[in-house]
Amino acid sequence: MKNVAILGSTGSVGKSTLEVIKQNKDKFCIELLTAHTNYELMIEQYNEFSPRYIYLEDPSAQKSFIDRVGSINKETALLTSENELNNVLSSDATEIVVAAMVGVAGLKPVYQAVKHKKKVLLANKESYVVAGEILNNLSQESGSTIFPIDSEHSAVHQCLQGVKDQKSVSRIILTGSGGPFLNREISDFENITPKEAISHPVWNMGDKISVDSSTMMNKCLEIIEARWLFQTKNIDVLIHPEGIIHSLVEFTDNSMLAQLSVPDMKIPIAYGLGYPSKIHSGSSSINFEEISSLTLKKPDLQKFPALNLAKSCIDIGGTSFAILNAANEECVAAFLAGKITYLDIYQIVSKVLDNSTINDVKELNDIFEADERSRSTTKELINKI
């Protein structure tokens, strides 16, 4: 039995992880579940999975949890501080850490888990985007392994199994569904509402990542994520609206390998949890009778200019990733709150990136400082609108 900690268990990836674990009760048990505020769902998860530890970040959610549950059973302890959380993440009892929380706020616990040699299943792409170099160096020192819980990166990881020589890989091609506005006229982009932006045609995900998918900022972050995970800058993107081919790898002989499945996060989660074995995911298999064709085409960079930002940041390096990510997180939140328009998101993010000083990254604090500066510059620009 392997002990699993799920950071962000009440979110979309957290819930899917618990579903995969339910299919494999003989292999995994729950060490820790954490959430920000959703104590109601945490009560359900507590009753069903009896974790050894629970952590609710928000103090009023902690209180509501205790009020509702009454006395907590003897097998479970409720953690009340970040310190206690770090102790559980560092302890030998925890073997696998699933980082499924949203945003760069996840970086500190991810750092702890990597430092203490855990197998880290990383759905929190923001942490890796901003601190890829630090986390890679740390995992080399500690012997931790970082697994992508992103369908594209999981696909690339699978295509690279059996490749003995890194030099035989010529490029990685990430696919993207194109999001809800693939076929919308660019002249109509200014009228896009938050409700339209969070209705993804293929994937059922949280609000932040759904907006990122619609602007293709998600693909931009994924290019950076792939750069850190697979140590290459040769990364292209193709639009694949059917969401069946999750990514491809091209080799020096011009042959390609691709990974296919229905679009269901349970598959990359099961791959990470079970690796190197394949385990049950609880997902369905592809029904080729229902799929009339599989299409792949180049993205429209005029409609989705956010894709260009990946290459600029990879060329610049340093704190540019943190600045990009923080500006985007603030803009998406402002768009969802009705403070800025859809087109303002890219305008503001690229302006913040152009006007910021980029520094080298030597330690986590360099990232947090850049993150904070970028957020305040972004908020100033948002308030001017």
Residues near Mg ion, by CB under 5 A: 150, 152
CB of 137 to Mg ion, least distance (A): 25
Q: Is the CB of 104 or the CB of 381 nearer to Mg ion?
A: 104
Closer residue to Mg ion, CB minimum distance, 42 or 202? 202
- We find the least distance from the C-beta atom of residue 44 to Mg ion, in angstroms, to be 27
Distance in Å, CB of 12 to Mg ion, minimum: 12
What is the distance between the alpha carbons of residues 279 and 266, in angstroms, rounded to a whole number?
11
| CA 207 to the chain's CA centroid | 13
First to last CA, the chain: 54
C-beta closer to Mg ion: residue 31 or 212: 212
Residue 359: count other Cβ atoms within 10 Å of its Cβ: 16
Q: Closest residue to Mg ion, Cβ-based?
A: 150
Q: Which residue, 174 or 348, has its beta carbon nearer to Mg ion?
A: 174
Nearer Cβ to Mg ion, position 150 or 330? 150
CB of residue 246 to Mg ion, shortest distance in Å: 8
Residue 230 beta carbon to Mg ion: minimum distance, rounded to whole angstroms: 15
Minimum CB separation of residue 64 from Mg ion in Å reads 33
Buried b (16+ CB within 10 A) or exposed e, 235-252: bebbbbbbbbbbbbbbbe
152 versus 330: smaller Cβ distance to Mg ion: 152
